[in-house]
Each structure stands twice: as structure tokens, then as C-alpha cells.
Amino acid sequence: MSAEPTAARAAHVLHERPTDPALVLDLLSAASARLDAEAPGPQVLVVVPDADAALAVADLARDVPAARGLLPVTSVKRALRLLPSAPAIVVGGLADLGELLRRSALKLERIGQVIVLEAERLDAEAGLATLDALLAELPKDATRTVVAATVSDAVRDLAERHLHRARRLAAPAAGGAVPPSLQVLVATPATRAGALARLLDDLDPPSVTIVADRAADRDAAADAVARLGLPPALASVVGATGTVPEHVAVAVLWGIPSARALAAVAAAQPARVVAIVGARERHALAAAASGAGLVPYVPAESSRAVRAADARLRSALREELARGTPLRELGAIEPLFDHFEPADVAAAAVRLLDAARATLAAAKAAPPPAVATAVPAVPPARETGAPTSDRPRDRGGDRSAARGGDRSAARGGDRGAARGAARGGDRGGSRGPRDAKPPFRGGAKRPATGGARGRDAAMRDGPKGFGRGRPPRGPEEGGPRKDWQDRGERLRNAKRRRDT
């Protein structure tokens, strides 16, 4: 259905159909016919889900002469530099347009028409909130057109707020005959040539015909055939009004076909029909080829493994269904049946199952992570040798040794023996432990320990050179301590002689 009457009446429209190239061309043609060449700034705003969809719309705009001034917004930074040139038509992703509006770079006061494509992909809380804010900034007399393959409750509420008394148009019924079966090969417009090369290498057909509606698609298909070196007798490229050779081995649909192209392919009765479309164009292809079965194209070398995997999947599903209906899982997915076919929901569940199995297989195949083991640090061995003359003795080490570090019993015994021998030699003989008098310790006599003049008095009244009343350490240590000890022995001997 053409959008020209809708544009002429300046009424809001809600299209309940997939976004296909034919509809986009009709909407762009109708919007371009209403442009004011004298008015500055953007006059038509096309809202799409992302930058890739914006480039696809810009590619279709080449077939509309009046829409050659279209600016695709693929980057906010680049759009900030190009928007001052005042393009008549601006097409961009919803997030990019919202950011431009927030920065006051996109002026909406002269926008007369707004076209929202693939609104079903915007059916999320964040996306619809941004679209709601964008539509609220438009002038009251701007025409609003929304295209959605499936109209959810959120999209319906949005239409009620911003598309007052909008007309709801469904997809037109497919007219004419269609092929009984279509194989779908997914490829973007930029990679269709490579997909065609892989298809012909896999099938090696004796004849192939490529059907393309748009002139740009026909040129791209002709370039792909010429690059493969196929002669005209083997491969041909025709348009929607062209003639498809009868009983051709393979008929290739380059993009979404029109009803006339599908009728021409069905009349030729080819052995196999393959449609090369994008991933987001599957619903549009199903709407255009209503009544034809869509099956994915599987290369010949992997078809056997795919069939075996499909057989195992069906067997597992039969066993699960034989156990009884899974009521909890059925209740979880039952709300999806209001918007999707049960077969589509089951296919999505199988896809999630395959992804989970692939993730589990990758996790099992990955090597286990290395566990770092902590090695206890071994302290270095302590030196136990006696200090030498060329190595000064460390005072802290001596204190540690005196407290029980590396002081051995033999060393203590040798020191005590030497001290006893020196004292015994000076006294002239040995005495018993009870008869021996204590040696001279120096300093004045002090009271017993614990009195008023106990330890503090001894520390004050000690002789000079002994360090606060400290007794001599023995003759083996040398120095003046040996002289003090000899003097004490002489005094004791003189006293004995006086007593006798």
C-alpha cells in the first residue's frame, strides 16, 4: 500500500507489518514530496533502532531522487559537525537522536514528519521512554508514522499518547503465486556477494538466476557474478519485470522480493529457491512470501551432522513430553503466546539450549586455572662462630646470646672454670664453700637487700669505674679489674697477719 494518500491527508498512521524495502521507499517518497525547498533545517525525522538500520535506510534513499539530501546519523560526534549544514531529512538510531536532542544540536521546531521504523525492536522500557520524550518535543502539527511488525501493549500505549486518532493499516495480502518452499541464507547487504560465492561453490548448479527488484541490487548482483567469472549462459540477473528461465536449477532472491518477483519465480518452477536476506528481514520475507515455507539454508558438507543433531534433539523432546506436560515451564512462557507463535517460542528455547550447551562444552574443554601454592620462607642460618679480631662484635648479638640465643653450656662452663681457677690461685689455696669469705666487691658496706638503702644506695655509693656499684667481672676479662682484685687479696692477708 502506498503512503501517498496518508501523507496528503497529514494523518497519523500505525502500520502493523514488518519493515520491508517497499514500504520504506513509499514512506520516503511521500515524505520527500512534502519538503519545502526554501525552509532551512531538518523537516523529516526517521527514527530507527541503531546505526546499521540508518545506513540501510540511506541506501534505499538512493532510489528516491528528492531524498538525496538525507543525513544518516551513525555517530554523535560526526553528527554534531554535519547538522549545521541543515539537511532536509535526518535518519538515525534512537539513542543517538536522543543524545543530540539533549545537547540541543537537533532542532525539532521545523520537523513536519516523523517516521518510526521497526518499532518492535524498541519495545523496551528505556527505548520507549526515549522515544516518548522525543515525540513529546515535536510540533503539534507534525505527522507521525509508526511501523511495527508486532504491536505490543507498550507500543499501543505509545501510539495512544502521540498518534491521536491514528489509522491502523495491516500488511497487504500477498497477491499471486509464491514458491512452495524458500531457503533462507542470512547475509547483510555488504556481504551478499560473498554469500552468493559460497552458495554457488557449495551447490555447483548448472544454471542460476538472480532476481533483484532495485536497480542498485541488480548492479551489485551483476558485479558479484562478473567477479566469479560466470558466463551469461550459466548465470543471469533479472529484475521484477524480467523473465526467469523456466526450470532453472537455482533461483536466488537478492533481498526482500516484491509480489511480482515472487510470482515470476513461482511461474518458472525452479529446482531450488534461495533468498539472501538480512537477519532482521526474516519477518518481512515471511510477510511477502505468505504461504511459502521458510527453511534455513544448510551447506552440504554440514547437513549430515546438522540432521543428526536435529534427530537427537527431537528424540529428547519426545522423551520429555512423554513424561508429562511441564506445567511450571508452560506457565512461564504462556504470556509470550500473545505476541509470538508457539513454534517461534519453542525455536528460541532450543537456541538458548544450544548456546548453554556450547558454553558448558567450552568450559569443560578449557584447562583448569593454575592454583598458586605459597612456599614458606626459610629464615637464613644464624652464625654461631665466635667473633674474630677482624670482625667487630655486635653488641645486640651479645645480648641475645646472653639471654639464651646461641650461648652454649660448654661456653658457660669454661668461663666459670677459668674464673674459679684465677681466684683460687690468688688466694694461695682452695677453701670450702662454707669457710671461704666473700671476695672484696668494692664500695662501702650496704644494708641487706630490701632495706631503705638497698639497691639504690648501692648503685649510688659504688666505687668509680665499676658502673654504678657493679662488681668486677673477673680477671680473665683483663684491664684494671685485675688490679682491684689483687689489692683486695693483699688487704685480707695483712689482716690475717695482724690477727695472728
Q: What is the CATH number of the domain that holds 162?
A: 3.40.50.300
How far, in Å, are 9, 28, 32, 336, 460 from residue 44 at the CA level?
A: 16, 9, 8, 35, 107
Is residue 86 domain-resident? yes
Residues 97, 21, single domain; the answer is: yes
Can you spell out the DSSP letters for 438-473?
Answer: PPP--S---PPTTSTTSHHHHHHHPPTTSTTTPPP-
Of 135, 150, 170, the last residue of a domain is 170
Residues 60, 151, single domain; the answer is: yes
- Grid coordinates standing for 270? 525452479
Residues 23, 115, single domain; the answer is: yes
Residues 8, 157, single domain; the answer is: yes
- Grid coordinates standing for 329? 515451564
Measured at the CA of 330, the angle between CA 328 and CA 332, to 5 degrees, comes to: 70
Residues 220, 317, single domain; the answer is: no
Residues 159, 202, single domain; the answer is: no
Residues 101, 133, single domain; the answer is: yes
Residues 131, 186, single domain; the answer is: no
Going by C-alpha positions, the residue among 74, 112, 108 that lies closest to residue 91 is 74
Residues 292, 328, single domain; the answer is: no
Is residue 187 domain-resident? yes
Is residue 273 domain-resident? yes
Q: What are 305-353's pLDDT values in tens digits? A: 667 777 888 888 888 888 887 788 888 888 888 778 788 888 888 888 8
Range with lowest mean pLDDT among 161-175, 227-241, 303-317, 382-396: 382-396
Is residue 455 domain-resident? no
Residues 97, 240, single domain; the answer is: no
Residues 469, 321, single domain; the answer is: no
Is residue 133 domain-resident? yes
Can you spell out the DSSP letters for 286-334?
Answer: HHHTTTSEEEE---HHHHHHHHHHHHHHHHHHHHHHHT---HHHHHHHG
Mean pLDDT of 261-267: 87
Is residue 73 domain-resident? yes
Distance CA(313)–CA(296), nearest Å, equals 17
- Grid coordinates standing for 483? 688490679
Instruction: State percent of the chain over pLDDT 70.
Output: 71
Whether 10 shows a pLDDT value over 90: the answer reads: no
Measured at the CA of 208, the angle between CA 205 and CA 214, to 5 degrees, comes to: 150
Mean pLDDT of 398-415: 49
Of 342, 358, 374, the last residue of a domain is 358
- For the chain, the average pLDDT equals 76
Q: Does residue 288 contact residue 253 with C-beta atoms inside 8 Å?
A: no
Distance CA(430)–CA(378), nearest Å, equals 51
Is residue 303 domain-resident? no
Whether 492 shows a pLDDT value over 80: the answer reads: yes
Q: What are 92-144's pLDDT values in tens digits? A: 999 899 899 888 888 888 899 999 998 888 766 677 888 888 888 888 888 99
Provide the domain count of the chain: 4
Predicted confidence band at 429 (pLDDT cuts at 50, 70, 90)?
very low
Range with lowest mean pLDDT among 37-46, 218-227, 228-237, 483-492: 483-492
The radius of gyration of the chain's CA atoms, rounded to the nearest angstrom, is: 50
Is residue 405 domain-resident? no
- Grid coordinates standing for 107? 532542532
Residues 27, 164, single domain; the answer is: yes
Residues 6+ apart with CB under 8 A from 162: 12, 132, 135, 136, 144
Distance CA(232)–CA(234), nearest Å, equals 5
Of 111, 138, 170, the last residue of a domain is 170
Range with lowest mean pLDDT among 180-189, 295-304, 373-382: 373-382
Full residue range of the structural domain in which residue 338 is found: 310-358
Predicted confidence band at 419 (pLDDT cuts at 50, 70, 90)?
low
